[in-house]
Chains A and B, each alone.
Chain A
Amino acid sequence: MGIQKDRVRFNVGGRIFETTATTLANAGRNSLFGAMFDESWNLQTDNNSNEYFIDRNPDCFAVLLDLLRTHELYCPPNMSEKLLYREALYYGLLDHVRSAKWGPFDGNRLWLSRTVAGQAPGDGTAIRAGPDGGCCVAHGCMVHVYDWMLEEHPPINLDYQRVNDVGWLDSENLVVSVCERLGRGDGGMGLFSTSSGELRDKFQVSHENQVKSFTAGALSFSSDYKIFSSCKGRSNEYGIGVWDQITGKQTDFFYEPPGWSLGDADKLQWLNGSNCLLVATLFPRKDNCYISLLDFREKKMVWSWSDMGAPITVDEKRVRDAIAMEESNSICVVNEYEDLGFIDIRNSRGSSVRWSSRSKLMKGKMPDEPCYPKLALHEGQLFSSMNDSISVFCGPDWVLTSRLRRSYGGSICDFSIGGDRLFALHSEENVFDIWETPPAPII
């Protein structure tokens, strides 16, 4: 920064601020201050008054200057957050604000930051956390997109077809998978801009060089820019489709083997370490549960497990969600009573489920409208939702360490972790909660 003396005087909207060039340097080159004090601008102060004039709100400037000084955000109660964000955006400090607002994610230190009520007419289908603190909520045939300030962006729909899954490619792009409309080429899968809600690209499936309409189900993305989706075609073309994120072209299709449900999958999960895709098709979509790992390079199902033909007693422990845990070479499953079970994936033929006989206590107080449990994994912490609460498990033996609960909104039908936040979508009232880890304490 081409400034001779370290002290800097600003006149912001009539109020004088004094600070140092060192403090301003915290804003970085990609901010108004960084550009303003760049040598090439050879900045002059106004009328020999020794100060730089900025035509902005002084109150917000004070807050943001403190942010640069302390790396902490303190927003006075009488100040509108939205106004502060707008000012931060003007100075190019919005990212500073965001990272000061909440701390790095820790499942055991979460507090409820906000609750947002949606306008959806019915139950939500899915909630997905974005990479930088935003989220999107899918219900019916609409997807509502919120940025990290929880400002709502234009909603998204794909031919007004029922949404099955959504996923964030990056903070600017969402993939939405929907049902096909019979008799028309509508439906399938589309790429949308999160800021404008515009359709940017529509993914297609070809079988034998013919483009076919299809219903897209569960989604997963890999770090090498691939999109996976379970697909159901019109003429029994069931399986897992693969597209390139950059070109948008279909690159592969894994046809489901007879007797094994891939096209109906509820959950896909790309496993980076083993280069495999976890595909789980679960009750009640099918009468039985099918979990498998697919290797696309060899076009092979390298591991599989099913409860087909299992003894009746297992029936009460029907698997409702599954998640692969690469560190421990196992798949965690959960049943409708939130019992966790573990399956070893080192044997190529699935071994049996090892249930942790933790709880049957929940059974007494089942709510009127139960939701199936869901699982999530984040940096060695396992999360499972059940009814109106989310449990956090830690350690090699997955000990229950925390439980997030709120008395309002009814059962949690879906939740998602991302951008250092946890979003929980409730089935009633159409509300979702945002859980955050507070910034580090002062001392």
Chain B
Amino acid sequence: MSNQKKRNFQIEAFKHRVVVDPKYADKTWKVLEHAIREIYNHNASGLSFEELYRNAYNMVLHKYGEKLYSGLVTTMTSHLKEISKSIEAAQGGMFLEEMNKKWTDHNKALQMIRDILMYMDRTYIPSTQKTPVHELGLNLWRDIIIHSSKIQTRLLNTLLELVHRERTGEVINRGLMRNIIKMLMELGPSVYQEDFENPFLEVSAEFYKGESQKFIECCDCGDYLKKAERRLNEELERVTHYLDAKSEGKITNVVEKEMIANHMLRLVHMENSGLVNMLLDDKYEDLGRMYNLFRRVANGLSTIREVMTSHIRETGKQLVTDPERLKDPVEFVQRLLDEKDKYDSIIKLSFNNDKTFQNGLNSSFEYFINLNTRSPEFISLFVDDKLRKGLKGVSEEDVEVILDKVMMLFRYLQEKDVFEKYYKQHLAKRLLSGKTVSDDAERSLIVKLKTECGYQFTSKLEGMFTDMKTSQDTMQGFYASHPELGDGPTLTVQVLTTGSWPTQPSVTCNLPAEMSALCEKFRSFYLGTHTGRRLSWQTNMGTADIKATFGKGQKHELNVSTYQMCVLMLFNNADRLNYKEIEQAIEIPALDLKRCLQSMACVKGKNVLRKEPMSKDICEDDTFFVNDKFTSKLYKVKIGTVVAQKESEPEKQETRQRVEEDRKPQIEAAIVRIMKSRRTLDHNNVISEVTKQLQSRFLANPTEIKKRIESLIEREFLERDSTDRKLYRYLA
């Protein structure tokens, strides 16, 4: 081979140069930098992901991680500065639009940049404790865009302005708002709070302060509450539409404070439309609104409750102390029931059946019902009225409802034993006169009293019913064993157990001879079947049906009391009788006799007797004769006794005294029970425990308790401690 040939042989240059390029890192970075720019310019479709990924990988692999990272920071910073300028340049309403658009772009670019730098994110960044790419992108956006001096305040003012415009009724672009707020939230909770939430809350407080001031000057309470409720709902809606859910509590707090808490008292006491007016006019809706709004603020509900209870107390006090009202007990109780119904429905419909409100209502009723000492009597009279006549044609359920309501009032009574006294009297009258309309209703009420106050309270009342039943049987037995009595006057005897009934000491009364013979027969019959008993006649409580023929031959059946019967029977044998003669003949107490004569001689339409001289009142020297001219459309005539249904003043005093007497043994029993278990106890504790034990029956008077203690000491049930005079000791 010649040299020539050798020279001709050439190695062709390798197409790809594979020498290590000293500027390798710079060149690679240039490629990546270019790619980042293209990504920001939406030109990514021309880029090869694989190549970029490989380049970034190689830079990290060849220990150019630091260069890559700092290059990324510089490039992204300069891009964001440009973006910042374009956002700044956006005019007016376009400002937020532009920002939102750029933010979306930035997010997308950030994702793509992170994709190509994934290897750096995974290896270089954790080992050098640098900020990962995504977080870095957010931080740079925050520092360069959001916290730029030209944007920060403008952004805040724009956002607050939009909120303000929405509050004044304009429609704003909520979607845009949501995106921008979401951006602030994504930049971290502190960005959201400092760059939006805190100023927003301040501005809102200012706004609602002004608005509430304006409203309160010109609106009535109901309207104001409507507006406040609407504002509150608007703010809640705002939170769900474009704020962070965590802001809900904060912004509602602001509205609550500015619109409700700050004006609470003024609203409640607003003239002509405040709480009291709402209660008076049964404004359920307004009351409900007030309840729901006030519930949100501290002391809100207690304010409503206090005003309500004091109003109830005030009106209740007026009601029970009004002398006009005392004239009609039934009306009096009906008014109480109506009042209770009114507030029950307010609490039910407006106050969410709030327990504390119910308690307030109860304590108010308890307070004013007991202001009137006649309340127990009146309630019993109400029941009496209802059971005498009021329940006819009323269904069983309605009866129950009325009785339940009465029981509710009964519960408020402190002097339940007084009620018992009256109830017994009224029940006795009903039973003996056969006036009770519904035995079931009577028994139902007894059961209610029993569940409320226990067996002891009603045992006597139940005894009265038993007596009525056994009396019926006894009478059947009596007539069965005396068949010969068929055509004489008919005697119906009710045998009453002593103690169960409110009997008065038996008074003398000379019955007509026919009757007294019959009574004797019954007495021997009864004592024949029941040994060891004693019968005494309660003539003052009886009634009689007598047939009478008057002057022109007209016949009537007269329904009269036993006393009246005795008087009338006297006229079978005499035409004229004077007062003294009548009194001597039947020997009943003068007061009863006068009443009985009055009812027959002085009541128009029922005057079967006439008297001389004519006058309204009965005098001891009056003379009586049969009124031949008596006429009546009815065959049966009921001659009532002039009795005040309501107790007269002295009767009241008497009942009162009896009640006081009855309480003494109960108080003593309570003291002994307590001391027996405690052995020693000081004075104050004895008083409080006795009061507590007797609470279900009556409110024991401390001075009375003290008297009872003294009496027990005298009788050597207790003694005072020799060193501590306040201490009592039980003596077994």
Q: Which residues of A contact B (CB under 8 A)?
A: 30-32, 35-36, 38, 40-44, 52-55, 89-90, 92, 172, 193, 195-196, 200
Asked whether A40 lies within 8 Å of B44 as measured between CB atoms, the reply is yes
Besides A36-B50, A38-B111, A195-B127, 15 other CB < 8 A contacts? A30-B118, A32-B53, A35-B49, A35-B118, A36-B115, A38-B112, A38-B115, A40-B111, A41-B115, A55-B54, A89-B119, A89-B122, A193-B127, A195-B126, A196-B127
What bracket does the count of chain B residues touching chain A fall in? Answer: 20 to 34
A-B contact pairs, 9 of them (CB 8 A): A30-B118, A35-B116, A36-B115, A43-B49, A52-B50, A89-B123, A90-B57, A92-B122, A195-B126
Q: How far is the CB of A156 from chain B (nearest CB, A)?
A: 14
Minimum Cβ distance to chain B for residue A174 (Å): 13
Main secondary structure of the interface of B (DSSP, over half): helix
Give the one of B50, B54, B108, B128 with max A CB within 10 A.
Answer: B50
Contact with A along B96-119 (1 / 0, CB 8 A): 000000000000100110011011
- Chain B residues engaging chain A, CB cutoff 8 angstroms: 44-45, 47, 49-50, 53-54, 57, 108, 111-112, 115-116, 118-119, 122-123, 126-129
Roughly how many angstroms separate A42 CA and B53 CA in the complex, as a whole number? 15
CB-nearest residue of chain B to A196? B127
Distance in angstroms between the alpha carbons of A35 and B52 in the assembled complex: 12
Note all chain B residues with C-beta closer than 8 A to A32.
Answer: 53, 118
Most chain B CB within 10 A, of A40, A42, A53, A54, is at A40
Contacts of A196 in B (CB 8 A): 127-128
Report the minimum CB–CB distance from B207 to chain A (whole Å).
40
Contacts of A54 in B (CB 8 A): 50
Q: Give the Cβ gap from B269 to chain A, nearest Cβ, in Å.
A: 50
In the complex, which of the residues B49, B53, B129 has the most CB atoms of chain A within 10 Å of its own CB atom? B49
| Bound: A196/B45 CA distance, A | 38
Contacts of B54 in A (CB 8 A): 55
A40–B112 touching, CB < 8 Å: yes
Is A90 in contact with B115, judged by CB distance below 8 angstroms?
A: no
Name the distance in Å between A171's Cβ and chain B's nearest Cβ. 9
Task: Across the interface, name the chain B residue whose C-beta is closest to A194.
Answer: B127
Sorted nearest first, the 10 A-B pairs with minimum C-beta distance are A35-B115, A195-B127, A42-B45, A41-B49, A36-B49, A40-B112, A54-B50, A196-B127, A35-B118, A172-B126
B118 near A92 with CB under 8 A, answer yes
State A42–B129 Cα separation when bound (angstroms): 32
Cβ of A30: which chain B residues have Cβ within 8 Å of it? 118
Bound form: Cα–Cα A32–B128 in Å: 22
Chain A residue, CB-CB nearest to B119: A90
Cβ distance B521 to chain A, nearest Cβ, rounded Å: 89
Which residues of A are found within 8 Å of B122, using beta-carbon distances? Answer: 89, 92
**A31 contact set on B, CB distance < 8 A:** 118
Select from chain A the residue with minimum beta-carbon distance to B109: A40
Tell me which residues across on chain B come within 8 A of A55, comparing CB atoms.
50, 54
Nearest-neighbor residue (CB-CB) of A32 within chain B? B53
Q: Which A residues are in CB contact (< 8 Å) with B108?
A: 40
What is the bound-complex CA distance between A35 and B54, given in angstroms?
13
Nearest chain A CB to B155 CB, angstrom units: 27
Contacts of B129 in A (CB 8 A): 172, 193, 200
Q: Which residue of the partner chain B has the closest CB to A94?
A: B122
User: Is B118 touching A42 in the complex (CB atoms < 8 A)?
Assistant: no
Shortest distance between the CB of B692 and any CB in chain A (Å): 42
Q: Are A41 and B118 in contact (CB under 8 A)?
A: no
CA distance A89 to B129 in the complex (A): 19
Question: Does the CB pair B53–A35 fall under 8 Å?
Answer: yes
Q: Complex: how many Å from CA A172 to CA B127?
A: 7
Chain B residues near A172 (CB-CB < 8 A): 126-127, 129
Chain B: which residue is nearest A54 at the CB level? B50
Instruction: Quote the shortest CB–CB distance from A105 to chain B (angstroms).
Output: 25
Q: Which A residues are CB-close (under 8 A) to B119? A: 89-90, 92
CA distance A32 to B116 in the complex (A): 8
Smallest CB separation, B149 vs chain A (Å): 32
Residues on the A chain within 8 Å of B111, using CB:
38, 40
Assembly CA distance A35 to B122 (angstroms): 14
Q: Shortest CB–CB separation between residue A427 and chain B, in angstroms?
A: 33
Bound-complex Cα distance A200 to B111 (A): 30
Q: Which residue of B lies closest to A52 (CB)?
A: B50
B50: chain A residues within 8 A (beta carbon): 36, 52-55
Q: A248–B54 Cα gap in the complex (Å)?
A: 39
Select which of B44, B57, B126 is within 8 A of A41 by beta carbon.
B44
Query: Is the CB–CB distance between B112 and A41 below 8 Å?
Result: yes
Bound complex: CA A255 to CA B126 (Å): 37
Complex contacts, A92 vs chain B, CB 8 Å:
118-119, 122
Q: Which residue of A lies closest to B54 (CB)?
A: A55
